[in-house]
Amino acid sequence: SQLDFKIRNPVGGIYQNCLIIRELGLLDTDCNKQSCSACHTTAGSTWTLRSICEEEKRMYYFDLVAFPLYFRGYGEYMVEKVGDVWTWYDSITNITKAVLPVQEHLNYPIGRQTWDIKDPVCGQESGKRQLTLSPCTAGEFTCTDGTCISFARRCDLKFDCGDKTDESFCDIVNFPGDYRSKLPPRPVSDLSLPISVNVSMDTINIDTTTMLISVSYNLRMTWFDNRLTYNNLKALTRLNTVSLDQVEQLWRPNVGFINTDDIQHTVVDQGAVTTIIREHPHFVRDLSNPYEVEVYRGDTNPVSTTRKYSTVFTCNFDLVLYPFDIQTCSMQLQIQSASSEYLIFNSNDSYVQYLGQKFLIEYGIGLIDLQVDNAMQYSEMKVRIELIRRYGYAMLNIYIYIPYPSHY
């Protein structure tokens, strides 16, 4: 059908070369003027009705018909104005699925709106439900007012929608109903779950007298949880930070520092940062969600938690060759969440690095390496630190006597 201009239109001449759709006809307007999303939709756009839980994807898609203005589904559904309400209905059975009253500030059912359900939708018998009727493409996010922005700008810690809804509902982790945070993930292969541990040491202090070594370091643990799925993962990992509320619901490994006096262990608190690393680009779109959601798998995109620690480890010094001795001290880590039948350290993807000074007052830092033993009942990892005594320091402080000058 052809939609004619409204009476006394067009009137803008060369200054108004864009059109606005109105129920009584077309109006010409300034192309820079901001209007509702339906008024500046690209011709031939496919519209999507989200949050309706259909098995066939064609049921989600609609075309915009200009006159009279309504939305014609690729399947049986229609969305059109009936009296003072917009009605979503099945054109074959003539069953009304939901209605949206026309309001003074809401002439069209565009964007994310609260509809009144009349026939079961996604298991909901009746009542209010958010539905999103959107002209946005697969690579775009629909603001609540129906305008479109790039999906990459969704949940990127800054507002891009005029109504600021692009930073709403940004929880990353989806927990299944039977998820248990006390039980470790079980790989499909039924093998032990490997946990990668990366130790980045900033400072080392040695006390030979008490045989203690104090280390300040960042400890990162990384693992896969195939029970989970994740929403809208970004290539930039820091944008995939999990909220503390969701972290508390996650299973995470407990690693003990077994050569400490009180056997300390890892903690996940406000000092810890938990992220999801997007290693695999594959995702599926969840059209049953009123917010555009790209869902990533948990078995291909790992969880990672990082925390700063300052720990005092015991070390047995052998001083037989003092002051020409070389000592080896260790940070001994043990998985305590479950036995090695279920959890092991990943020796291939774990590493240690030292970022501090190579020469301390009494020692020089030699070789630093990492050893993994998964054959024990509980998997263990040992970070070995070689300490080479600076014998010149010992000579100056022990064997060379410099008398104090006497005063008469």
pLDDT digit string (tens) for 378-393? 999 999 999 998 876 6
Q: Is 22 helix (H, G, I), strand (E, B) or coil?
A: strand
Domain ranges in the chain?
193-222+242-275+302-393
Phi/psi of residue 167, each to 5°?
A: -105, 20
12-21, 33-42, 106-115, 350-359 — most confident range: 350-359
Q: What is the pLDDT of residue 282?
A: 95
CA–CA distance, 325 with 166 (Å, rounded to integer)? 62
- b or e along 41-60 (b: 16 or more beta carbons within 10 Å of the residue's beta carbon)? beeeeebbbbbbeeeeeebb
Position 317 pLDDT exceeds 70: yes
- Of the candidates 194, 180, 182, which has an alpha carbon nearest to the alpha carbon of residue 342? 194
Phi/psi of residue 60, each to 5°?
A: -85, -15
Higher pLDDT, 237 or 391: 237
Q: What is the pLDDT of residue 129?
A: 96
Q: What is the mean pLDDT of residues 391-401?
A: 64
With respect to CATH, is domain 193-222+242-275+302-393 assigned 2.170.150.20?
A: no
Tens digits of residue pLDDT in 152-203 = 999 999 999 999 999 999 999 999 999 999 999 998 888 999 999 999 999 9
| DSSP E strand boundaries for 208-354 | 212-223, 229-231, 255-257, 264-265, 273-276, 284-285, 294-297, 303-314, 326-335, 343-345, 351-354
Whose structure tokens read 């003539």?
A: 94
Tens digits of residue pLDDT in 279-306 = 999 999 999 899 889 999 999 999 999 9
Q: What is the pLDDT of residue 202?
A: 96
Q: What is the pLDDT of residue 1?
A: 43
CA–CA distance, 85 with 6 (Å, rounded to integer)? 23
How far from each other are the two terminal CA atoms of the chain, in whole angstroms?
Answer: 119
Q: What is the pLDDT of residue 320?
A: 75
